[in-house]
Amino acid sequence: MKRGPFEVTGSKIVYQNPWIKVREDEIIRPNGEKGIFGVVDAGTGVTVVALDKDNEVYIIREFHYAIETNDYILPSGGIGQGEEPLSAAKRELEEEAGVTAKKWTFLGKYNPLTMILNSASYFFLAEELEEGEQGEEEKGLIKIEKIPLKTVVEMAVAGELNHSGSVISILLTARLKEL
């Protein structure tokens, strides 16, 4: 089987759990040399910039196990099988922040680490917000804050916000809002 300029001669799943799958492909490079590629499939996801009428962003602070730090992140999560990106964005915003929105703007789709990671993310701006009951995830491991958009942009540029989907989403929102 061809994959771009590479001939795939074998493929096997070397690890899998409910969140990721790691595949190793045996390949023949365009120059005829044999090699391997490792691919991590982490599924597709969404990130939401929830911007209220006062130009404040709902942002979450939580412990991120893989990088062992308590960090800021925008409402984000995975897209379920058969679920549309916008539906996932609405679900994640309500689950994590207890917020719904009447106005949604698609900001783009990006791939964070294209050499080894298959995990596209869809980014949305949510406006005309309505607060509901406390988000389910708020009750334990996460803390929700509202921070002015301009401050969150500064956090992204300074490296205080380092979740790639959050940084991209915030910068796209800043451009859209002409900050």
- pLDDT digits over 34-73, tens only? 999 999 999 999 999 999 999 999 999 998 888 898 999 9
In a domain, 115, yes or no: no
Q: Does residue 35 sit in the same domain as residue 55?
A: no
In a domain, 55, yes or no: yes
β-strands 121-131, 45-50 pairing: parallel
**CATH, residue 149:** 3.90.79.10
Distance CA 169, CA 153 (A): 10
Contacts (Cβ under 8 Å, ≥6 apart) of 165: 45, 47, 74, 76, 110, 112, 121, 123
Q: What is the model's pTM? A: 0.90
Contacts (Cβ under 8 Å, ≥6 apart) of 28: 6, 7, 9, 34, 35
* Residue 16 lies in domain: 2-41
Q: Does residue 124 sit in the same domain as residue 143?
A: yes
Q: Does residue 61 sit in the same domain as residue 29?
A: no
In a domain, 14, yes or no: yes
pLDDT confidence bin for 179, thresholds 50/70/90: confident
Going from the C-alpha of 16 to that of each of 21, 36, 111, the distances in angstroms are 4, 18, 21
Contact 109, 17 (CB under 8 A): no
Q: What is the pLDDT of residues 121-142, one digit of tens each?
A: 999 999 999 998 765 555 567 8
Q: Does residue 66 sit in the same domain as residue 87?
A: yes
